């Protein structure tokens, strides 16, 4: 059962992200992004990372993309005035780079055996919470300083004059 679900959600995620970068209208891209994020959340569930899956849906699919959509609607660029991309050479390079990355992943997967997976409950809320407040406490606290600097930075950039 699990491999089938993995292939299904993996395919949805890949197809969704291809749609995100190929759609002309930003709104369509944003909606496909939600689809992709949901599919990735399902992949997390398959890997027993329930907490991460919930956070993925609440924060990314819920809050971040909604903000994107708000901004797109506020700016409200008419369909005929959307910027036209002319950098086709860059696009081909991007596709080539992606192909190289996939090839690399395949080679790595064939050549090496990764160490065994983590314990079955390592993705539960309890396990994540414990790791966050013991082993990774410093990282957790430093993130708050980073976010503080980012918030102040956003205000400083948005204000009319400093």
Partner 1 sequence: MPLGNLASVSRFLPELAVTATILLLVAVHVVGKNRQSSASALLSLAGVGAALLLTALQPSMPAVSLFEGMVALDGFAVFFKALTALATIVVIFMSMDSAELSGKSQAEYYVFLLSVLLGMFLLSSATDLVMLYLSLELVSIPSYLLAGYLKGRKSSNEASMKYVVYGATASGVMIYGFSLLYGLTGTTQIAEIGRALATGKAALPLFLAAVMVAVGFGYKIAAVPFHMWSPDVYEGAPTPVTAFLSVGPKAAGFAVLVRFFYTVFASPDGAGGPWTLSSPVDWTLLFAVLSAATMTVGNLVAVNQKNVKRLLAYSSIAHAGYMLMGFVLLTPAGIQAILFYLVVYLFMNLGAFYVVILVANGTRSEDISDYAGLGSRAPFAAVSLAIFLFALTGIPPFSGFIGKVYLFAEVINRGVYWLAVVAALNSVVSLYYYARIVKVMFLEEPAEKAELAVPAFPRALLCLLAVPTLLLGVYWEPVIRVAANSVRLLAF
Q: Which residues bind partner 1 (CB under 8 A)?
A: 104, 107-108, 111-112, 114-116, 134-139, 142-143, 145-146, 148-150, 152-153, 155-157, 161-162
Instruction: Considering the complex, state which of residue 86 and residue 161 has its C-beta at the smaller distance from partner 1.
Output: 161
The three-state (H, E, C) secondary structure of the chain, written as one string: CHHHHHHHHHHHHHHHHHHHHHCCCHHHHHHHHHHHHHHHHHHHHHCCCHHHHHHHHHHHHHHHHHHHHHHHHHHCCCHHHCCCCCCHHHHHHHHHHHHHHHHHHHHHHHHCCCCCCCCCCCCCHHHHHHHHHCCCHHHHHHHHHHHHHHHHHHHHHHCCCC
Q: Which of 125, 154 has the CB closer to partner 1?
A: 154
- When the beta carbons of 8 and 96 are compared against partner 1, the nearer one is 96
* Beta carbon of residue 112, minimum distance to partner 1 (angstroms, whole number): 5
Q: What's the min distance (Å) between Cβ of 133 and partner 1?
A: 9
**Judged by CB, which is closer to partner 1: 89, or 162?**
162
Residue 147 CB, shortest distance to partner 1, in Å, is 10
């Amino acid at each position: 059962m699990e491999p089938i679900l993995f292939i299904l959600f993996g395919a949805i995620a890949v197809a969704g992200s291809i749609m995100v970068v190929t759609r002309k209208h930003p709104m369509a891209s944003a909606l496909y992004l939600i689809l992709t994020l949901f599919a990735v959340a399902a992949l997390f569930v398959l890997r027993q990372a329930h907490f991460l899956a919930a956070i993925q849906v609440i924060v990314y699919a819920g809050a971040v993309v909604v903000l994107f959509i708000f901004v797109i609607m506020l700016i409200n660029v008419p369909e005929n005035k959307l910027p036209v991309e002319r950098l086709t050479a860059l696009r081909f390079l991007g596709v080539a780079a992606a192909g190289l990355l996939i090839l690399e992943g395949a080679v790595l997967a064939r050549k090496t055996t990764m160490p065994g997976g983590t314990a079955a409950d390592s993705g539960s809320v309890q396990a994540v919470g414990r790791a966050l407040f013991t082993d990774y406490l410093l990282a957790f606290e430093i993130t708050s300083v980073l976010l503080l600097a980012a918030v102040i930075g956003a205000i400083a950039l948005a204000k009319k004059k400093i």
